[in-house]
Amino acid sequence: MTQDRPSPGRWFAEEWTALLGTVLESLAGERPKLSCSAPAAGATLAACGEEIGVEHGAILWWQYHFPLPGAPSIWIGAPRDAWTQLAGRILGAAGVEDDSQARETYLEVLQQSLGELSRSAGRRWNRQLDCSGSEGTAAPETTEFYMVEAVYPDAAIPSLMVAITGAPQDPPAEADSAGPPKAASPDAAEPENQLPVRSKTFNLLMGVELPVSVSFGHVQLPLKDVLKLTAGSIIELNRTVDELVEVIVNNCVVARGEVVVMEGNYGVRIHEIMTRQERLETLP
């Protein structure tokens, strides 16, 4: 470990925290303010877990193992209030009001964020990783753990816990050099046609209907001018005839394109897709 590089355990916790924000933003369109910090001196995982569990419901633990030197595992602990609130925001963004899907949705968030973490770890240790995860029955016995806070503009999510077990080791210095990742071991070659785990949550969301509209432009008028409008009046918009129109889905601009006519009906030929940041900037 160097002055500019965190310990392997802390790296796992901070990297997962950042990736959690990315997954939440991609699924719900909103990224909370996230922070990852070590507990106060003298605090233990058992005591913190008990305190959080009493206030916010039973802790749901998930273990994810990395086939790396030191056999590290990352454990994510979330009280019931935390995972139900996170899942509720995702389902709410999709217009789904079925609370029975909350646990499955939260586990989908975990699987996606930890899957991204395994790819990030593969780049850091310069090897291909075949990781595995499972639900834990109880908190692990470890002294290294971190608290993750997630705060939305309208609410703060109860604290999550990230525990590190095993003895994670820094990659050798040469692992930082450019080059393709190497296999974890000669006998652990990844199947050529291996496919990612199919997401049950995404299957649920695929049937959700969203309103789609096209904006040709807009203008602000004084009330006195609005009252003067009659049949045949012309309102000049803030868009020229050769500018692209905006495609709006669920009050968010997702693309721009040109107006075309298809068999007597108007349509839009897409020219550009908005980035995630641009989409967030167009939200009302």
Residues of the chain with pLDDT under 50: 1-3, 175-179, 183-198
What's the pLDDT score for residue 229?
85
Distance of CA 148 to the CA centre of its chain: 15
Q: What are phi and psi of 77, to 5 degrees?
A: -115, 125
Q: Which residue has the tokens 């040469």?
A: 174
Chain segment 206-234, per-residue pLDDT in tens: 667 778 888 888 888 888 888 888 888 88
Q: Are 25 and 97 part of one and the same domain?
A: yes
Q: Are 201 and 251 part of one and the same domain?
A: no
Q: How many CB atoms lie within 10 A of CB 102?
A: 19
Domain that holds residue 118: 8-171+195-205
- Composition of the chain by helix, strand, coil, percent to 5: 35, 25, 40
Nearest to 234 by CA among 246, 248, 221: 221
Q: What is the DSSP letter of 40?
A: P
Q: Specify the number of domains making up the chain.
A: 2
Is the residue at 18 inside a domain? yes
What's the pLDDT score for residue 113?
92
Q: How many CB atoms lie within 10 A of CB 15?
A: 19
Task: Return the structure tokens found at 220.
Answer: 């602000």
Q: Are 144 and 14 part of one and the same domain?
A: yes
Is the residue at 180 inside a domain? no
What's the pLDDT score for residue 121?
92
Helices (H) and strands (E) in the chain, counts: 7, 12
Nearest to 124 by CA among 192, 72, 191, 62: 72
Contacts of 66 (CB under 8 A, 6+ apart): 72, 73, 74, 118, 121, 129, 131, 168
What's the pLDDT score for residue 209?
76
pTM for the structure as a whole: 0.63
Task: Return the structure tokens found at 47.
Answer: 């005591």
Q: Are 155 and 19 part of one and the same domain?
A: yes
What's the pLDDT score for residue 186?
43
